[in-house]
């Protein structure tokens, strides 16, 4: 059964703190294993990638067929039924429209001293996108990672996807084609992340790696950070549903299970102001689990990591919501109070407002990105977007007159820090020889 908490009960703060401190990460040995894989791929390149692909993906490949050809991609994509093709194209257009609106503008102005200041944005040269291909295929993740990179103007987009048994997933191949991936490679796991970061005899390295994956992929991204940029370290999925007693319990149960079905380590939390309604939701979850295809996974997630938190007033639950800092926050309430509460929330990967906005809409077709911070990382980061594929460069241009205004203060600070060459580079231009 999920954890039950009452915000008005004695000892709530202690229990809630313990709940927030739970570790849902997997085996501590993962990082040690990944370290060996990354080191091996860096040393042996293709040979190491092929060895790990045989071991983990049951695919006996050769260097010549690591890459998925356009013909192979197109043949697989052709198998997708028309309705699914149309849905992917519909989603891609919405994602592109939203992310184009996020493009930052270059800045340039001249201040009162006559110094020109500015900032310009330029894309990374190459981005690597990791697409999961294990227990489930996620064509939506292909769109969410590649479309923003294309909008940002990245010149080379490299997609890696594991193909267990050597089988290409038609939906994933179609999504890659629609989104515009430049290269597709049939590799996955930590070995794929290492190949993207350091390059191999076949694969040229990239500058940034994005995309979700399992614990091994997350550990590999953490390990190669610095050699390349990464988007974020994605942990198990999360959803926090804030719901009043006027909701249909079955709707809320379905919402909670929409993330629980991802992984047994996922977390679903309900905040409610009505004890009878909360109990009805718990019962509805049990009913849903009887017919859900991924019931074993979702059931374990709900049992081991789920929580129901009772509060007296949903409008006053902001501190609890912000403390959880969930990946997804649903506000299943009337429009006006939901909007008001959303305005006060500081920490959330994405907020879904109103009874008719299930989180799943954001996963697929809203247009916003579903690659979001987990494990309370929404306290300090946001979801994937075009800015992840752009670099900001500052611009400074002094005239002799503006340097005369700025220089003395710069010289004073350089001298205060004991950095003589810094000061000299300024004073020599001010004729203070």
pLDDT reported for residue 187? 96
β 116-123/107-110 pair status: antiparallel
pLDDT reported for residue 432? 65
Domains and CATH numbers, the chain: 30-230 (3.40.50.1980), 236-381 (3.40.50.1980), 398-427 (no CATH)
Of 99, 262, 328, 347, which one is the catalytic site residue? 328
Q: Flag whether pLDDT at 136 surpasses 70.
A: no
Q: Flag whether pLDDT at 294 surpasses 60.
A: yes
From residue 2, how far is each of 28, 268, 297, 308, 374 by CA, in Å?
Answer: 25, 9, 14, 7, 20
Backbone dihedral region for residue 365 (phi beyond 0: left; psi -120 to 50: alpha; all else: beta)? alpha
pLDDT reported for residue 433? 54
pLDDT reported for residue 59? 84
Write the pLDDT tens digit of every residue in 235-284.
899 999 999 999 999 999 999 999 999 989 999 999 999 999 999 999 99
* 3-state SS class at 242: strand
pLDDT reported for residue 194? 98
pLDDT reported for residue 26? 58
| Proportion of the chain above pLDDT 70, given as a percent | 98
Q: Both tokens of residue 49?
A: 């990638």
Going by C-alpha positions, the residue among 321, 300, 151, 340 that lies closest to residue 240 is 321
Burial of 134 (0-12, 13-18, 19+ CB in 10 A): middle
**Could you tell me the end-to-end alpha-carbon distance of the chain, in angstroms, rounded to an integer?**
77
DSSP 245-272: TTS-HHHHHHHHHHHHTT-TT-EEEEEE
Q: Taking residues 97-113, report their average pLDDT.
A: 98
- Taking the C-alpha atoms of residue 362 and residue 353, their distance in angstroms, rounded to an integer, is 11
Q: Taking residues 177-186, report their average pLDDT.
A: 98
- Taking the C-alpha atoms of residue 63 and residue 51, their distance in angstroms, rounded to an integer, is 11
Q: How confident is the model at residue 164 (pLDDT cuts 50, 70, 90)?
A: confident
Annotated catalytic residue 327: yes
Q: Both tokens of residue 427?
A: 């004073």
Of 288, 327, 330, 359, which one is the catalytic site residue? 327
pLDDT reported for residue 23? 80
Going by C-alpha positions, the residue among 271, 301, 274 that lies closest to residue 285 is 301
pLDDT reported for residue 58? 86
Q: Both tokens of residue 304?
A: 């081991």
Write the pLDDT tens digit of every residue in 184-224.
999 999 999 999 999 999 999 999 999 988 889 999 999 99
pLDDT reported for residue 165? 83
Phi, psi of 164 (to 5 degrees): -50, 130
Beta-strand (E) ranges in 311-389?
Answer: 328-332, 350-353
pLDDT reported for residue 384? 97
Q: Both tokens of residue 250?
A: 């079955």
**Range in 130-134, 196-200, 429-433 with the lowest mean pLDDT:** 429-433
């Amino acid at each position: 059964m999920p954890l039950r908490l009452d915000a008005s009960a004695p000892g709530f703060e202690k229990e809630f703190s313990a709940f927030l401190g739970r570790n849902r990460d997997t085996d501590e040995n993962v990082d040690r294993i990944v370290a060996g894989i990354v080191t091996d791929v860096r040393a042996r390149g293709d040979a190491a990638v092929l060895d790990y692909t045989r071991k983990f993906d049951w695919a006996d490949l050769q260097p010549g067929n690591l890459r998925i050809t356009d013909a192979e991609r197109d043949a697989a994509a052709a198998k997708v039924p028309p309705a699914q093709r149309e849905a992917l194209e519909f989603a891609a257009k919405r994602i592109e429209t939203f992310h184009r609106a996020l493009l930052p503008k270059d800045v340039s102005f001249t201040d009162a001293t006559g110094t020109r200041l500015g900032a310009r944005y330029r894309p990374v040269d190459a981005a690597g996108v990791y697409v999961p291909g294990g227990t489930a295929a996620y064509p939506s993740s292909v769109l969410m990672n590649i479309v923003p990179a294309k909008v940002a103007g990245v010149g080379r987009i490299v997609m890696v996807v594991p193909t267990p048994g050597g089988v290409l997933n038609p939906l994933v191949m179609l999504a890659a084609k629609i989104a515009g991936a430049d290269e597709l490679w049939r590799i996955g796991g930590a070995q794929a992340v290492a190949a993207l970061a350091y390059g191999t005899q076949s694969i040229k390295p990239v500058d940034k790696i994005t995309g979700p994956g399992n614990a091994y992929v997350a550990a590999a991204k953490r390990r190669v950070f610095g050699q390349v940029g990464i988007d974020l370290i994605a942990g198990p999925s999360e959803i926090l549903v804030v719901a009043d007693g006027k909701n249909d319990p079955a709707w809320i149960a379905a919402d909670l299970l929409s993330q629980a079905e991802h992984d047994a380590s996922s977390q679903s939390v309900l905040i409610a102001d009505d004890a009878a309604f909360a109990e009805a939701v718990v019962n509805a979850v049990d009913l849903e689990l009887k017919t859900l295809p991924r019931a074993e996974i979702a059931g374990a997630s709900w049992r081991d990591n789920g929580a129901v938190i009772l509060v007296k007033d949903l409008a006053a639950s902001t501190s609890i919501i912000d403390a959880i800092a969930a990946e997804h926050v649903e506000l299943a309430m009337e429009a006006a109070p939901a909007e008001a509460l959303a305005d006060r929330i500081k920490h959330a990967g994405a907020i879904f407002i109103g009874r008719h906005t299930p989180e799943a809409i954001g996963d697929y077709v809203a247009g916003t990105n579903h690659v979001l911070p987990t494990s309370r990382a929404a306290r300090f980061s946001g979801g994937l977007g075009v800015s992840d594929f752009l670099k900001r460069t500052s611009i400074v241009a002094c005239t002799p007159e503006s340097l005369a205004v700025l220089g003395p203060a710069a010289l004073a600070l350089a001298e205060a820090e004991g950095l003589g060459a810094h000061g000299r580079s300024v004073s020599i231009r001010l004729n203070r020889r």
